[in-house]
């Protein structure tokens, strides 16, 4: 069973409004411009989501999603990814990078464009390693 308090806290942090509370699930509302959304979050492991009547909210103009999470970390991940659109952004950025590489390859008379790793300065000293790997080392 997921903690209703922890779920509510996370949803409120991401700008949702708290809706009705039921024994087996919570309801949260979000409005973004023209769109009105309702998320129903199941809190009981043995509860069947199919028994929820979504039409109550759909008749009010809400797009309704029922969400089942295994733990509070899954709740946080879903909210973060939904709020920041990470999946869409990653796909868009990768497609943009591929397009850039193709353009550069054409400019190089069809020679393959490759990123050339450069040096970086850390604590006033020039470094020659991979800057991304170094950042990961610092923060992990």
Which tens digits make up the pLDDT trace of 31-86? 988 899 999 999 998 898 899 999 999 999 999 999 999 999 999 999 998 888 88
Question: Given this model, what pLDDT does residue 1 score?
Answer: 78
The pLDDT of residue 19: 95
Contacts of 102 (CB under 8 A, 6+ apart): 113
> Alpha-carbon dihedral of residues 51, 53, 57, 62, nearest 10 degrees?
60
Residue 110: pLDDT over 80: no
Is the pLDDT at 9 greater than 90, yes or no? Answer: yes
Using the 8-state DSSP alphabet, how is residue 52 labeled? S
């Amino acid at each position: 069973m997921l903690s209703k308090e922890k779920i509510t806290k996370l949803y409120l942090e991401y700008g949702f409004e708290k809706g009705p509370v039921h024994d087996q699930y919570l309801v949260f509302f979000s409005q973004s411009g023209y769109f009105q959304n309702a998320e129903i979050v199941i809190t009981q492991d043995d509860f069947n989501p199919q028994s929820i009547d979504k039409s109550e909210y759909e008749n009010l103009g809400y797009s309704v999603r029922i969400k089942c999470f295994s733990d509070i970390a899954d709740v946080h991940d879903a909210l973060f990814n939904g709020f920041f659109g990470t999946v869409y952004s990653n796909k868009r950025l990768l497609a943009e990078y591929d397009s850039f590489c193709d353009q550069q390859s054409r400019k190089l008379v069809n020679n393959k464009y490759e990123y050339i790793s450069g040096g970086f300065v850390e604590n006033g000293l020039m470094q020659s390693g991979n800057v991304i790997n170094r950042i990961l080392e610092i923060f992990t």
